[in-house]
C-alpha cells in the first residue's frame, strides 16, 4: 500500500505538497500538481482514512443512531436509513449504523467521546429524549429525525403531522364522511412520549373539531391482532363509523382483515386512509390503500445534508424543517354509503 511518502518521492516533491494537492488547502502550481497526480496514479495511491482522521480531527464518518428494538424496522424507518446512507455516500462521508437505545446512555456517551463520529443523526426521537442531552454535552453535531418537545437550538427534520392529519381528514370529510375514527399507536407508546403518536392525536382532535366533528381515537398494538382489536373497539364506541384513519402501519392490515371478517367492504362500507405509509406497503393491500405517503428517504437525505452543511461551514446554524406526507388516493376511500350533509365551514361550536 503506497503512502504519501512514496508519492512524494516519486514526484520529487515534499510530503506536504502532496497533501496540499489532495486537500487544496494551499495553492499548488499546475506543473507540480500534475507531477503529483501522475505519481499517485502510478502508485495507485489511496489516502489512509485513519491517518487522515487522526491528523485532521475529522473522520468523515457520520453516525445514524437508532434504538433497535424487538420488531425491527418498518418500511418508513428503513427508508430513513437507505436515504441517509445514499446521501452520506454522495457527499463523501461514511455512515455508521449504531443501535443505541434509550437504555444504554453510557454506551452512547462512550460512542460520542471516541471521536470517531464527526456528527450524528438521531432517529426515533422521543418528546423528552435524554440521548439528545448526552450528545449535546459531548459536543457532537446533531440532527434529529423527529423532534423533542423543546427544539430550541436543535436541528431536525420531521414529518409535518399536523398538516398530514389535516389533509387526511379533509379528504375524508370532502368525500362526505362524518364518523371518522383514528387508530393510533398503542397506549403504551403514547404514554412513552412517542412524538408522532402524540402529535397526530392532537392534530386529529384539532382537525375534527375544526370540521365540527367528534374526534374518536383508538389506540392499537403494533400487530395485525392489535388492528383487529382496535377496529372492534371502534365499532363498539362508534357503531355508525364510515371511515378509519390509521397511523399504525402494522395494525392496518388487521383492520382490513377485521372489516372483511365483519362482511364490510372497503371502500363501499368503510373508507380507510393509512397515515405515514410507504407506497410499497399501500400497494400490498386489496384494494390498494389511499394513504398519506411518508417522505421516507427524503427525510434521511435531508438530515444528512443538513448535518454535513453544519460540519463544513459552521456558519449554518439550526436546520428545522417539516415535511408533510402526500395524499395518494388509491382504492380504499370513497363516499359513505349514505352520505351525511357536511358543511365545509367550521361548525359554530368550534369557533373558526
186: helix, strand or coil: coil
Q: With binding defined as CB under 7 A, does residue 51 bind DNA?
A: yes
Could you say which residues in the range 268-287 bind DNA, by CB under 7 A? Answer: none
Q: With binding defined as CB under 7 A, does residue 248 bind DNA?
A: no
Query: From the CB of 117, what's the least distance to its own copies, in Å?
Result: 9
Q: Could you say which DSSP state residue 126 is in?
A: B
Quote the strand ranges of the chain, DSSP E.
61-66, 94-99, 119-122, 142-145, 155-159, 180-184, 216-219, 243-246, 271-277, 290-293, 320-323, 326-328
165 vs 229 by CB, closer to its own copies: 229
What character string, x for contact with its own copies (CB under 8 A) and - otherwise, covers 221-250? --xx-------------------------x
9 vs 330 by CB, closer to its own copies: 330
Phi, psi of 229 (to 5 degrees): -60, -40
Q: Is the peptide bond before 267 cis (omega within 30 degrees of 0)?
A: yes
Q: Which stretch binds DNA (CB under 7 A): 48-56, 132-140, 190-198, 220-228?
A: 48-56
Residue 115, sorted as left (phi over 0), alpha (psi -120 to 50) or beta, turns out to be left
Number of residues lying near its own copies (CB under 8 A): 53
Task: Figure out which of the listed residues 288, 298, 322, 323 binds its own copies, where binding follows CB under 8 A.
Answer: 288
Task: Figure out which of the listed residues 10, 28, 88, 244 binds DNA, where binding follows CB under 7 A.
Answer: 28
Partner interacting with residue 19 (select from DNA, its own copies, none; CB below 5-8 Å by kind):
DNA
Query: From the CB of 114, what's the least distance to DNA, in Å?
Result: 9
Q: With binding defined as CB under 7 A, does residue 93 bind DNA?
A: no
Q: With binding defined as CB under 7 A, does residue 54 bind DNA?
A: yes
Other Cβ atoms less than 10 A from the Cβ of 29: the count is: 9
Q: With binding defined as CB under 8 A, does residue 75 bind its own copies?
A: yes
Q: With binding defined as CB under 7 A, does residue 16 bind DNA?
A: yes
**Please, which residues bridge with residue 136 across strands?**
none
User: How is residue 277 written as a grid cell?
Assistant: 405509509
Query: From the CB of 147, what's the least distance to its own copies, in Å?
Result: 24
Other Cβ atoms less than 10 A from the Cβ of 339: the count is: 12
- Dihedral sign, CA of 223, 224, 226, 227? positive
Strands of the sheet containing 271-277, edge to edge, are 216-219, 180-184, 243-246, 271-277, 290-293, 326-328
Cα–Cα dist 269/263, whole Å: 9
Task: Figure out which of the listed residues 114, 133, 265, 321 binds its own copies, where binding follows CB under 8 A.
Answer: 114
User: How is residue 302 written as a grid cell?
Assistant: 435531508
Cα–Cα dist 255/193, whole Å: 24
Query: From the CB of 286, what's the least distance to its own copies, in Å?
Result: 4
Q: With binding defined as CB under 7 A, does residue 113 bind DNA?
A: no
Task: Figure out which of the listed residues 4, 7, 28, 95 binds its own copies, where binding follows CB under 8 A.
Answer: 95
Cα–Cα dist 157/299, whole Å: 6
Applying CB under 8 A, which residues contact its own copies?
Answer: 1, 44, 46-51, 53-54, 59, 61, 64, 68, 71-73, 75, 78-79, 81-82, 85-86, 89, 94-99, 110, 113-116, 223-224, 250, 253, 256-257, 260-261, 278, 280, 283-286, 288, 296-297
* Contact residues: DNA, CB under 7 A: 1, 3-5, 12-17, 19-20, 22-23, 25-29, 31-33, 45-48, 51-52, 54-57
Amino acid at each position: 500500500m503506497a503512502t504519501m511518502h512514496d508519492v512524494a518521492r516519486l514526484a520529487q516533491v515534499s510530503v506536504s505538497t502532496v497533501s496540499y494537492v489532495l486537500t487544496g488547502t494551499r495553492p499548488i502550481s499546475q506543473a507540480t500538481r500534475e507531477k503529483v497526480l501522475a505519481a499517485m496514479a502510478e502508485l495507485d495511491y489511496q489516502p489512509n482514512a485513519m491517518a487522515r482522521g487522526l491528523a485532521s480531527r475529522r473522520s468523515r464518518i457520520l453516525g445514524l443512531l437508532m434504538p433497535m428494538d424487538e420488531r425491527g424496522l418498518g418500511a418508513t424507518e428503513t427508508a430513513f436509513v437507505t436515504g441517509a446512507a445514499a446521501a452520506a455516500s454522495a457527499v463523501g462521508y461514511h455512515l455508521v449504523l449504531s443501535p443505541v437505545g434509550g437504555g444504554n446512555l453510557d454506551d452512547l456517551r462512550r460512542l460520542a467521546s471516541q471521536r470517531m463520529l464527526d456528527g450524528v443523526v438521531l432517529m426515533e426521537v422521543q418528546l423528552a429524549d435524554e440521548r439528545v442531552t448526552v450528545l449535546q454535552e459531548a459536543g457532537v453535531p446533531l440532527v434529529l429525525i423527529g423532534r423533542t418537545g423543546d427544539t430550541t437550538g436543535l436541528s431536525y427534520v420531521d414529518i409535518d403531522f399536523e398538516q398530514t392529519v389535516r389533509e387526511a381528514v379533509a379528504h375524508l370529510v370532502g368525500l362526505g364522511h362524518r364518523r371518522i375514527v383514528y387508530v393510533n399507536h398503542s397506549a403504551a407508546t403514547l404514554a412513552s412520549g412517542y412524538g408522532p403518536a402524540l402529535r397526530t392525536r392532537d392534530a386529529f382532535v384539532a382537525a375534527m373539531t375544526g370540521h365540527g366533528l367528534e374526534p374518536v381515537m383508538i389506540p392499537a398494538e403494533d400487530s395485525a391482532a392489535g388492528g383487529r382489536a382496535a377496529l372492534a373497539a371502534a365499532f363498539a364506541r362508534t357503531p355508525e363509523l364510515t371511515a378509519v384513519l390509521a397511523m399504525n402501519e402494522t395494525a392496518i392490515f388487521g383492520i382490513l382483515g377485521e372489516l372483511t371478517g365483519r362482511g364490510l367492504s372497503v371502500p363501499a362500507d368503510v373508507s380507510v386512509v393509512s397515515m405515514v405509509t410507504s407506497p410499497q406497503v399501500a400497494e400490498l393491500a386489496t384494494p390498494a390503500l389511499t394513504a398519506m405517503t411518508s417522505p421516507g428517504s427524503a427525510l434521511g437525505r435531508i438530515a444528512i445534508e443538513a448535518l454535513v452543511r453544519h460540519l463544513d461551514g459552521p456558519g449554518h446554524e439550526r436546520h428545522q424543517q417539516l415535511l408533510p406526507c402526500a395524499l395518494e388516493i388509491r382504492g380504499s376511500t370513497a363516499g359513505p354509503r349514505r352520505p351525511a350533509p357536511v358543511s365545509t365551514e367550521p361548525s359554530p361550536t368550534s369557533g373558526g
